[in-house]
Amino acid sequence: MPRTPVGPLELLAVDHLLGDEERAIQATVRKVVDERVRPNIAQWFEEATIPRELAREFGALGLLGMHFDGYGCAGTNAVSYGLACMELEAGDSGVRSLVSVQGSLAMYSIYRWGSEEQKQEWLPRMAAGELVGCFGLTEPDFGSNPGGMRTRARRDGDEWVLDGTKMWITNGSIADVAIVWARTEDGFGGFIVPTDTPGFSAPKITSKLSLRASVTSELVLESVRLPAGARLPEVHSLRGPLSCLDEARFGIVFGSLGAARDCLETAIAYSREREVFDRPIAGFQLTQKKLADMALELQKGFLLALHLGRLKDAGRLEARQVSLGKLNNVREAIAIARECRTILGANGVTLEYPVLRHANNLESVLTYEGTSEVHTLVIGQALTGVGAFS
């Protein structure tokens, strides 16, 4: 090959838009992913497992709840958190999900809506990865419409009693603590549920074809009794869980691009090596068109993510803007992953290369934290002032 090719995110030199500390954090996470995730991820994916000790390792690096202040959290800016998600997801969406659910969903629920006592009790050990958390909102019959949830919390003297079933809960079976959202007399409430509480169980969901390097579970709550202080005191509506989902979606806006970048880098390298009709397929115009189109979308997605990150750091990010970012970047990431798969031909369907693993993972990313259809409706409502949800 005549010239060293330029990386798909280097064409626009977007790196120059980052500060020194942001670049340093990104480089650190990339190195950890190269050393700890890449050599093992195919096996984890095949065996449908993820080592629990990763939580402690990520905790030691300050990746859990990394953009929160105090309580053992690293207190970085939001862009740095986004860049960390991007590098983690370049390894695997399941690995990024472990960090997102721990930080943006379970820890953020307590950080944003908990009492000072609850924060002191739970957050430092969760930030260190000593305790793993999960976030139970979705139910078997209520995913896109959590307002219909059937899980109930009723007051019985000094205690709360929870009954219900949650579905598709990341980290459920490995969690020490579950944040469970339930219907209450005064609306909706969030509850901190230690997973060894009698009546709580979390059977693992098996046979997933996506996000295999991530534990997904059902949560079953049968007369789970909790002390009065288990309720998050600062929220009585769906604003609680929805604010947490916004946090996690922000990570996905960046994260999904990591998966796409990994696919594109793989496809470019492969196209330079693979010879068909006596020449590298990188030399065919059809291949170059695919690569050029994908590099364009990847860079546009990064500029969008960075813009949203800067808005977040300025305290000006709105939920509908996060919807825009999630809709665009996950949609483009999955399209890139699938197109890269075509460049790899038959080799693309194996676990030897990351592309179909990423594409399969992105099917879940497209669906969780609000499906692409739901985010489309959020944008439609913002544009027209008319809700089309029901």
Nearest residue (CB) to ligand FAD, 12 versus 374:
374
Strands 133-136 and 152-156: unpaired
> In degrees rounded to 5, what are phi and psi of residue 7?
-65, 155
> Among the candidate windows 226-234, 274-282, 332-340, 370-378, which touches ligand FAD by CB under 6 A?
370-378
Q: Which residues have a Cβ under 8 Å from the Cβ of 6 and sit 6 or more positions away? A: none
Q: Is 379 in the site for ligand FAD (CB under 6 A)?
A: no
Determine which residue in the list 50, 110, 169, 178 makes contact with ligand FAD, applying CB under 6 A.
Answer: 169
Determine which residue in the list 311, 374, 379, 382 makes contact with ligand FAD, applying CB under 6 A.
Answer: 374
Inter-CA distances, 1 with 4, 139, 285, 294, 353, Å? 8, 53, 16, 21, 22
Strands 133-136 and 187-194: unpaired
Q: Is 368 in the site for ligand FAD (CB under 6 A)?
A: yes
Q: Contacts for 11-14 with beta carbons within 8 Å, 24 or more apart?
A: 11/295, 11/299, 12/299, 12/303, 14/299, 14/302, 14/303, 14/306
Residue written as token pair 């977040």: 312
Q: Exactly one of 53, 297, 369, 373 is catalytic; which is it?
A: 369
Nearest residue (CB) to ligand FAD, 101 versus 259:
101
**CB 178 → ligand FAD: shortest distance, Å?**
10
> Which residue lies nearest ligand FAD, judged by its C-beta?
143
**CB 220 → ligand FAD: shortest distance, Å?**
14
> Among the candidate windows 167-175, 190-198, 229-237, 250-258, which touches ligand FAD by CB under 6 A?
167-175
Judged by phi (left if over 0) then psi (alpha if -120 to 50, else beta), residue 381 lies in alpha
Strands 133-136 and 177-184: parallel
Please tell me the count of residues contacting ligand FAD according to CB under 6 A: 20
Residue window 348-367: x/- pattern of binding to ligand FAD, with contact defined by CB under 6 A: ----------------x--x
Q: Specify whether 363 is catalytic.
A: no
Q: What is the DSSP letter of 6?
A: P
> Among the candidate windows 138-146, 273-281, 291-299, 350-358, which touches ligand FAD by CB under 6 A?
138-146
Determine which residue in the list 35, 117, 242, 389 makes contact with ligand FAD, applying CB under 6 A.
Answer: 389
Determine which residue in the list 28, 49, 115, 144 makes contact with ligand FAD, applying CB under 6 A.
Answer: 144
**CB 279 → ligand FAD: shortest distance, Å?**
41
Determine which residue in the list 102, 104, 118, 138 makes contact with ligand FAD, applying CB under 6 A.
Answer: 138
Q: Taking CB under 6 A as the criterion, which residues in 45-104 touch ligand FAD? A: 101
Q: Which residues in the chain belong to E strands, given as ranges?
A: 133-136, 152-156, 159-170, 177-184, 187-194, 200-201, 216-227, 275-276, 279-280
**CB 251 → ligand FAD: shortest distance, Å?**
13
Q: In whole angstroms, what is the distance from residue 137 CA to residue 167 CA?
A: 8
Q: Is 135 in the site for ligand FAD (CB under 6 A)?
A: yes
Judged by phi (left if over 0) then psi (alpha if -120 to 50, else beta), residue 210 lies in beta
Residues marked active site are found at: 369
Q: Which residues bind ligand FAD (CB under 6 A)?
A: 101, 135-138, 143-144, 168-170, 211, 216, 364, 367-368, 371, 373-374, 377, 389
